[in-house]
């Protein structure tokens, strides 16, 4: 179940190297007071879309900074294409696209000027892909970046990350600020880039963001990697939570008696989580007089609890290890 | 050096440089026009009425030639500490703000090494300061020739200004090193800026009273001896060379620090 791979020993020359695109092994970066990342290891295969999932402040951005060579690991190794991410960072950047978590562009520039500037800095000759992406995200880049909304700035960042058709893309919370339409365009873009052969690592605190794109997902919490899972496995075990409103109090109680795992809410509601097939659940409900039925996905925390049981609570308290 | 970045940053710093040149033009014009070869009396009278005040700003010498007059009234204060304002504005734009706002992440998300990025920023800083020195020299010569033809000792002025450029670069080097060294934006800007201001205050104090004369020996500003440079003294030339060498060392240290440090961007 755990797909976490040990880094491979042999380091051939970069480029045609068959090993994983991204390798993080035993990464430690301690900022004190429990902040940072501690013994994080994972590998991203070539052509894979890998999700990095965790609540805010869990260490996603710290890991990204290590991969970008902005910071040096206290311990462990961080490699892209087999190259050390800190000492060989400018070489790595030749084939990498990056979207920072905080969109802090050059405020005083227009979007057009910024993208042109970045294209030159990347020594990009062909602007076709850039223009395609601008059109794809319905971006109007003529305005000053300072005056753009958060979502528009995010689009500028996304165009910048993908305009050079990178072999590897590192995206830190890529859909933040985007409206649902643009979020789904982003997801299509990721799938399209994956078909092109790009390796993509994206971090998020929202399960939905990674659900539709990623092959595998790593859960990070409090700076520690809790697990690396295949997305298919996660999807299969993930439950849906339903809130059912019955016609009356008696019907609700009758249902609650028949289903001890259902939780009573208010006068005539119950909340119940359902795993796997919904068929039995729906057919069972047909026997009752139902006023309303709403469904929501499990939150990240609920999913996490479900996957790893209550022992995680102990670890969260810090008494573990 | 990266030409794209160099061109962008040079353009971004052009406006503030023009303002500084405009202010300098006004001051240089006013000071030169105040020079009176026959009667320096009114100014001398003022100087005698409050000698400490004038001494503090490095204006203690009785001026006899136009160059002496300019050295007295321009080089002790205006052409040194006022340039620090420009240096701080530029260092803030070129390094401190990039790191503080995280926009440096974009520059480093390109196949340009940190050394190259930092050297480009140093290049912009040096180019603007050299440009400003050319403008200053041209203004001084222009006003001098226009108002008092043949009075200005051009050779001596060029010697002084070469030394002044070395001083500017050393001041900029100190500010840039501080910008590369500290992750806190306030410290990054003001450790370097504050040290420069401290040196000026030390110089002002040592010029006023004998009590503080010892400060001269520990003050790098003392290396810029503009009267000595005008006269072509070997020790003054040595001081200017030391300032230039100091500038090179400070910039090199700044680039090395920037290349090695952790960046929280």
Give A205-255 pLDDT, tens digit per residue: 888 778 889 999 998 888 999 888 898 888 777 778 889 999 888 888 888
Of B106, B116, B262, the CB nearest to A118: B106
Task: Supply the pLDDT for residue A107.
Answer: 80
C-alpha–C-alpha distance, residues A149 and A181, integer Å: 16
Q: Give B10-56 pLDDT, tens digit per residue.
A: 999 999 999 999 999 999 999 999 887 765 566 667 777 777 777 77
Q: Which of A116-130, A274-288, B59-73 has the lowest mean pLDDT?
A: B59-73
Q: Is B2 exposed, middle or buried (0-12, 13-18, 19+ CB in 10 A)?
A: buried
CB B139 within 8 A of CB B131: no
- Domain-by-domain residue ranges, chain B? 3-260
For A239-297, which CATH class? Answer: alpha beta
For strands A168-172 and A199-204, give the pairing.
parallel
- Domain-by-domain residue ranges, chain A? 22-230, 239-297
pTM of the model: 0.85
Phi-psi region of B110 (alpha: psi -120 to 50; beta: other; left: phi over 0): beta
B5 contacts chain A (CB < 8 A): yes
Task: Tell me the pLDDT band of B259, cut-offs 50, 70 and 90.
Answer: very high
Q: In this predicted complex, what is the ipTM? A: 0.87
C-alpha–C-alpha distance, residues A52 and A42, integer Å: 10
* Minimum Cα–Cα distance from A74: chain B residue: B262
CB A223 within 8 A of CB A38: yes
Q: Which of A15-19, A131-135, A233-237 has the lowest mean pLDDT?
A: A15-19
Q: Give B180-196 pLDDT, tens digit per residue.
A: 999 999 999 999 999 99
Mean pLDDT on A262-287: 84
CB A162 within 8 A of CB A129: yes
Task: Supply the pLDDT for residue A12.
Answer: 37
Residue A9 has pLDDT above 50, yes or no: no
- Residues facing residue A220 across a β-bridge: A225
Residue B1 has pLDDT above 70, yes or no: yes
A120–B4 CB contact, under 8 Å: yes
Residue A123 CB-half CA count within 13 A: 10
B97 contacts chain A (CB < 8 A): no
Of A90, A117, A160, the CB nearest to B111: A90
Task: Tell me the pLDDT band of A5, cut-offs 50, 70 and 90.
Answer: very low
Q: B-chain residues within 8 Å CB-CB of A66?
A: none
A70–B110 CB contact, under 8 Å: no
Residue A53 has pLDDT above 50, yes or no: yes
CA-based angle B25:B30:B33, to the nearest 5? 120
Task: Supply the pLDDT for residue A318.
Answer: 36
B50 contacts chain A (CB < 8 A): no
Q: Give B108-150 pLDDT, tens digit per residue.
A: 999 999 999 999 999 999 999 999 999 999 999 999 999 999 8
Shortest Cα–Cα distance, A104 to chain B (Å): 5
- Which residues lie closer than 8 Å to A169 by C-beta, 6 or more apart? A96, A97, A98, A99, A161, A162, A193, A198, A199, A200, A201, A202
CB B91 within 8 A of CB B185: no
User: What sign results for the dihedral spanned by CA atoms B101, B102, B104, B110?
Assistant: negative
A90–B106 CB contact, under 8 Å: no
Q: A-chain residues within 8 Å CB-CB of B103?
A: 104-106
Report DSSP letters for A228-244, one per residue: EEEHHHHHHH-EEEEEE
Statement: A22-230 belongs to CATH 3.60.20.10: no
B157-161 contacts at long range (C-beta below 8 A, 24 or more positions apart): B157/B67, B157/B70, B157/B230, B159/B229, B159/B230, B159/B232, B159/B237, B160/B67, B160/B71, B160/B75, B160/B226, B160/B229, B160/B230, B161/B133, B161/B136, B161/B137
H helices present in chain A, as ranges: 60-67, 89-92, 111-121, 128-136, 150-162, 180-196, 207-211, 231-237, 249-258, 279-285, 300-308, 311-316
B2 contacts chain A (CB < 8 A): yes
Q: Is A93 exposed, middle or buried (0-12, 13-18, 19+ CB in 10 A)?
A: buried
B113–A90 CB contact, under 8 Å: yes
- Which residues lie closer than 8 Å to A306 by C-beta, 6 or more apart? A237, A238, A239, A298
Shortest Cα–Cα distance, A219 to chain B (Å): 23
A105–B106 CB contact, under 8 Å: yes
Share of chain A above pLDDT 70, in %: 87
């Amino acid at each position: 179940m755990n797909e976490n791979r040990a880094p491979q020993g042999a380091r051939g020359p970069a480029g045609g190297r068959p090993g994983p695109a991204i390798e993080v092994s035993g990464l430690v970066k301690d900022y004190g007071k429990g902040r940072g990342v501690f013994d994080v290891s994972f590998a991203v295969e070539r052509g894979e879309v890998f999700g990095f999932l965790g609540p805010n402040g869990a260490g996603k951005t710290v890991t990204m900074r290590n991969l970008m060579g902005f910071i040096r690991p206290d311990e462990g190794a961080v490699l892209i294409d087999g190259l050390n991410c800190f000492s060989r960072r400018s070489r790595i950047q030749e084939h990498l696209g990056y979207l920072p978590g905080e969109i802090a562009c050059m405020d005083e520039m227009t979007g057009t000027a910024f993208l042109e500037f970045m294209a030159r800095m990347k020594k990009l000759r062909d602007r076709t892909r850039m223009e395609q992406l601008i059109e794809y995200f319905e971006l109007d880049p003529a305005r000053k970046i300072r005056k753009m909304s958060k979502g528009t700035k995010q689009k500028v960042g996304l165009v910048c990350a993908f305009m050079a058709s990178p072999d590897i893309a590192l995206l830190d919370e890529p859909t933040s600020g985007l409206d649902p339409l643009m979020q789904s365009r982003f997801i299509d873009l990721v799938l399209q880039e994956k078909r092109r052969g790009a390796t993509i690592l994206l971090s998020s605190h929202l399960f939905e963001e990674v659900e539709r794109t990623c092959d595998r997902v790593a859960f990070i919490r409090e700076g520690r990697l809790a697990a690396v899972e295949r997305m298919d496995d996660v999807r299969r075990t993930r439950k849906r939570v339903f809130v059912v409103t019955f016609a009356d109090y008696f019907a609700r109680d009758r249902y609650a008696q028949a289903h001890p795992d259902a939780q009573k809410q208010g006068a005539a509601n119950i909340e119940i989580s359902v795993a796997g097939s919904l068929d039995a659940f729906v057919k069972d409900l047909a026997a009752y007089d139902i006023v309303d039925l709403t469904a929501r996905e499990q939150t990240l925390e609920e999913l996490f609890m479900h996957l790893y049981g209550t022992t995680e609570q102990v670890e969260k308290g810090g008494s573990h290890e | 050096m990266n030409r794209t970045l160099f061109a962008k940053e040079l353009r971004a710093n052009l406006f503030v440089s023009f303002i500084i040149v405009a202010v300098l033009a006004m001051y240089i014009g006013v000071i030169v026009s105040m020079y009176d070869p026959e009667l320096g009396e009114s100014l001398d009278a003022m100087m005698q009425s409050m000698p400490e005040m004038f001494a503090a700003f490095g204006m203690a010498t009785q001026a006899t030639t136009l160059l002496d007059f300019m050295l007295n009234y321009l080089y002790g204060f205006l052409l040194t500490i006022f340039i620090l304002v420009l240096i701080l504005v530029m260092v803030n734009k070129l390094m401190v703000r990039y790191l503080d706002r995280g926009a440096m992440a974009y520059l480093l998300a390109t196949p340009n090494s940190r050394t190259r990025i930092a050297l480009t920023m140093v290049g912009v800083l040096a180019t603007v300061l050299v440009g400003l020195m050319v403008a200053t020299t041209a203004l001084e010569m222009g006003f001098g020739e226009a108002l008092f033809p043949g009075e200005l000792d051009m050779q001596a002025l060029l010697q002084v200004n070469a030394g002044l450029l070395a001083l500017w670069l050393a001041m900029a080097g100190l500010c840039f090193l501080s910008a590369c060294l500290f992750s806190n934006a306030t410290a990054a800007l003001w450790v370097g800026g504050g040290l420069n201001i401290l040196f000026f205050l030390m110089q002002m104090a040592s010029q006023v009273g004998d009590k503080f004369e010892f400060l001269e020996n520990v003050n790098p500003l003392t290396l810029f001896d503009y009267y000595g440079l005008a006269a072509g003294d070997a020790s003054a030339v040595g001081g200017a060379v030391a300032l230039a060498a100091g500038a090179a060392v400070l910039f090199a240290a700044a680039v090395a620090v920037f290349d090695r440090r952790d960046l929280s961007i």
